[in-house]
Copies of this chain bind each other. A is one copy, B any other.
Amino acid sequence: MMIDAGHQWATATAPATVSNVAVGFDILGFSLGQPVDRVTVRRSADKGVRLVDTGGVGDLPGEVEENTATAGLVEMVADLKLDFGLEVSVEKGVPMRSGLGGSAASAVAGIVAASAVLDRPLSLPQRFHYALLGEQRVCGRRRADNIAPAMLGGLTLIRSIDPLDVVRLPVPHQLEAVVVEPEVQVEVRKARALLSDTVDREDFVVQTANLAGFVAGCFEHDRELIGRSLKDLIFEPQRAHLIPGFAQVKEAALAQGALGSSIAGAGPSVFALHDSHVDGQELCQTMIEAFREAGVEARGYTSPINSTGAYIVERGPRV
């Protein structure tokens, strides 16, 4: 077996992701084909981790402990007692504070690239461990609902974080996603602070029924069941007001035949799922237009939700 490690440098990519997915608050997430972050990690003689390029994105943290691409690597380097250092460059494709898992994408791409320059590659649990640490620095809490789909691709269920228990869910054929990102920013911590600490028991029953219906619909490739189930009656109503035009965008998506639509992560991006009866590009334009009518400029992405997770796109010679 070839061990894919020990390279002088490696560049990894990890995609944007949509967490929560209407019915899976903090436990479901899926990956998008685009946009992606690319992180290059290079061995260096000087020990420690250095961030040599943050990709020209103005407000990205330059301190290695504060940037999600490197915060996990700092821990890894200490744990492994490496006798060499790591130079890290980030090409930021996933917008930050958009609800599209920007910090997870950097954290995952960073650890996947770093694994390829080590003498022995990290195990998957190790990669999760350090990516989670990196995300934790920025989000202030351990969460895997963007990390897991960014790492593995597709639709993932995080059954447990400690110990990590991630389940890949099957995705029905031709199920695709449209994500539209408005030019407004929602602070994740603020969006979470707004949430009620409790859930009404009757709402709990309806929401869990929809969650179970969604999971069953995925396994049975039953797009109608997925559509009937894709409704968030608990968290979406508490956050929708943070996103100008949200109601109109969602309504426009459903009117055009989307199976469901809700907030991507903590927002402000809005996603819709659809099958082949709906043209993704047209749906995307409709949602952008609905934002525009609400006075907000937006840009959109279309993607299958069964896309690839993180992988090495390029690497240098072996050490």
Contact = CB atoms under 8 A, between A and B. Distances in A.
Nearest to A198: B198
A159 B210 contact: yes
B200 A167 contact: no
7 contacts: A24-B212, A25-B204, A160-B206, A160-B228, A195-B201, A198-B199, A198-B201
Interface string A202-222: 001111111111011001000
Contact of A208 (B165, B197, B208): B208
Contacts of A205: 25-27
B167 A225 contact: yes
A28 interface: yes
Interface in A168-224: 169, 195-201, 204-213, 215-216, 219
A218 to B, nearest CB: 9
Contacts of A212: 24, 27-28, 157, 159, 167, 211-212, 215
A238 to B, nearest CB: 11
A229 interface: yes
Contacts of A27: 205, 208-209, 212
Interface of A: 24-28, 157-160, 165, 167, 169, 195-201, 204-213, 215-216, 219, 225, 228-229
A213 B158 CA distance: 9
A15 B212 CA distance: 24
B165 A228 contact: yes
Contacts of A210: 159
Nearest to A219: B219
B211 A201 contact: no
A200 B201 contact: no
Closest A-B pairs by Cβ, 6 of them: A198-B198, A159-B213, A219-B219, A27-B209, A215-B215, A26-B205
A234 to B, nearest CB: 8
A198 B197 CA distance: 10
A24 B216 CA distance: 14
A144 B13 CA distance: 47
A157 B201 contact: no
Given A25-B204, A205-B27, A157 B216 contact: yes
Residue of A160, A208, A225 ringed by the most chain B CB atoms within 10 A: A208
B204 A159 contact: no
Residue of A158, A196, A200, A213 ringed by the most chain B CB atoms within 10 A: A213
A171 to B, nearest CB: 13
Residue of A28, A165, A199 ringed by the most chain B CB atoms within 10 A: A199
